[in-house]
Chain A
């Protein structure tokens, strides 16, 4: 099975969109997970619901809302246009935004669970041993939550790679710019005689997801001391 240059381009674009989406969203996901796991504030339930919205709203609706927000006349798109003179519409960066928004709830869920699983008594022990809050976080909380952070990132990456509805309604299907694996597979299905390309791209999709899962499991075994991603 040999991929054509065009197909390689699609694969690399997908990896770029998925990777950038996950890396960019990770700090936000961690902060939200921390707030939801540890925070006590009014409106927590509302924030919880808001974070999970992309999970339950039809992706096409999420994409349409992104379009409204990022259009040149929209609240975020207007600022980007005015301050930086850029737009994310019909660009790979827009595809990454769509993928990131769709991946966010899954990442927050996984990280939140792992943070809730960290034994607070170990943090107390660290404090009594002379570690301030920052050192306690860096040497106890974060390492113990790391398997969950990895699991969340892998889940998010898989979700980002598979993103279809929000992407196509937000940034459309532009070959070489926003045409990621699922969009390319969909396009190929519309073309008579495209079955060969569908098969190849589908096989690559499965392979990438599989490798990502295995890799994160291996890293978790190494760092988590018996905690599993799978």
Chain B
């Protein structure tokens, strides 16, 4: 299972074009801020419509301008972890975590809670969580939807050094443990090299 992406989209003055060849593991989109990297993730998630091109993950076609395929976001099975956690402020951590989880899904809730170390956070409100804690809940929420692939937007941004190391280690465990294709966006070269199996330079 891997990404096969070739999309173009014009947003105002910015011309966004992205080409990702199929290949296993973690694909890193690496480039400066404001180059439209997040827009690429939004296109893969179905939140932004490309002007042209196609998006495939494994055997599934999510978008293809030529054949008119354009799956709705809720049908794409994207595990999308946004740059800011986007936890629902009116739901406790537990309800946030289980928002996209369905009974009978092939994901083990307890294992994910354990993996992320968030058992003690479940009864808290999002606004009482620190940046790192909110990020972990957001990652758990994405994993529990039983996603077909993961989209990670600057997963280490706005975290202090101790938290960065924690989340990095977690992402490495995810990469090695669950075998989902991961598309990760970052502007940090060290992060790109440490996590990425392949690096796609972007917006040069």
Q: Which of B89, B125, B127, B145 contacts A130 (CB 8 A)?
A: B145
Contact yes or no, A127 B74, CB < 8 A = yes
29 examples of A-B residue contacts, CB within 8 angstroms: A119-B86, A121-B82, A122-B86, A122-B89, A124-B42, A124-B45, A124-B86, A125-B80, A125-B82, A125-B88, A126-B88, A126-B99, A127-B73, A127-B74, A128-B45, A128-B47, A128-B73, A128-B142, A129-B99, A130-B74, A130-B77, A130-B102, A130-B145, A131-B99, A132-B74, A144-B89, A144-B90, A223-B90, A225-B90
In the complex, how many residues of chain A place their beta carbon closer than 8 angstroms to a beta carbon of chain B? 20
Q: Which residue of B lies closest to A146 (CB)?
A: B90
A194 in the interface (beta carbon within 8 A): no
Identify which of A122, A124, A139, A143 contacts B73 (C-beta below 8 A).
Answer: A124
> What's the Cα separation between A223 and B89 when bound, in Å?
11
Q: Tell me which of B46, B78, B90, B100 has the highest count of chain A C-beta atoms within 10 A of its own C-beta.
A: B90
Interface residues of B (CB under 8 A from A): 42, 45-47, 72-74, 76-78, 80, 82, 84, 86, 88-90, 99-100, 102, 125, 127, 141-142, 145
B47 touches A127 (CB 8 A): yes
Min C-beta distance of A85 to chain B, whole Å:
47
B100 — which chain A residues lie within 8 A by C-beta? 129-131
Closest-CB distance, B73 to chain A (whole angstroms): 4
Majority DSSP secondary structure for residues of B touching A: loop
Residue-wise interface mask of A (112-128) relative to B, using a CB-CB cutoff of 8 A (1 in contact, 0 not):
00000001011011111
In the complex, what's the smallest C-beta–C-beta distance from A145 to chain B, in angstroms? 10
In the assembled complex, the Cα of A125 lies from the Cα of B125 at a distance in Å of 17
Residues of A within 8 A of B42 (CB): 124
Chain B residues lying within 8 Å of A140, measured Cβ to Cβ, are 88
Q: How far is the CB of A142 from the nearest CB of chain B, in Å?
A: 10
CB contact list, A78-96 vs B, under 8 A: none
CA distance A224 to B142 in the complex (A): 25
Taking a contact as CB atoms under 8 Å apart, the answer to whether B74 and A125 are in contact is no
A128-B89 CB under 8 A given contacts A225-B125, A225-B127 = no
**A contact residues around B46 at 8 Å (CB):** 127-128
A146 to B80 CA separation, bound complex (whole angstroms):
27
Pick the contact of B80 from A128, A132, A225, A226 — CB < 8 Å? A128
Q: In angstroms, how far is the closest chain B Cβ from the Cβ of A122?
A: 6
A122-B88 contact given A128-B45, A129-B141, A225-B127, CB 8 Å threshold: yes
Task: Please indicate the chain A residues that have their CB under 8 angstroms from the CB of B47 in the complex.
Answer: 124, 127-128
Contacts of A139 in B (CB 8 A): 88, 99
> What residues of A have a CB within 8 angstroms of the CB of B77 in the complex?
130
Instruction: Beyond A121-B84, A131-B99, A223-B90, list 4 extra A-B contacts (CB 8 Å).
Output: A122-B88, A124-B45, A124-B86, A139-B88
Binary interface profile of A, 187-228, with partner B (CB < 8 Å = 1, else 0)?
Answer: 000000000000000000000000000000000000111100
Nearest-neighbor residue (CB-CB) of B79 within chain A: A128
A128 and B78: CB pair below 8 A?
yes
A125 to B79, CA, bound (A): 10
Contact B74 A225 (CB under 8 A): no
Nearest Cβ on chain B to A115's Cβ, whole angstroms:
15
Do A225 and B86 have beta carbons less than 8 Å apart?
Answer: no
Interface pairs A-B: 3 shortest CB-CB: A129-B100, A127-B73, A128-B80
A125 to B153 Cα, complex, angstroms: 13
A127: chain B residues at CB < 8 Å are 46-47, 72-74
The CA-CA distance from A223 to B90 in the complex, in Å, is: 8
Chain B residue with Cβ nearest A223: B90
Minimal Cβ-Cβ distance residue in A for B73: A127
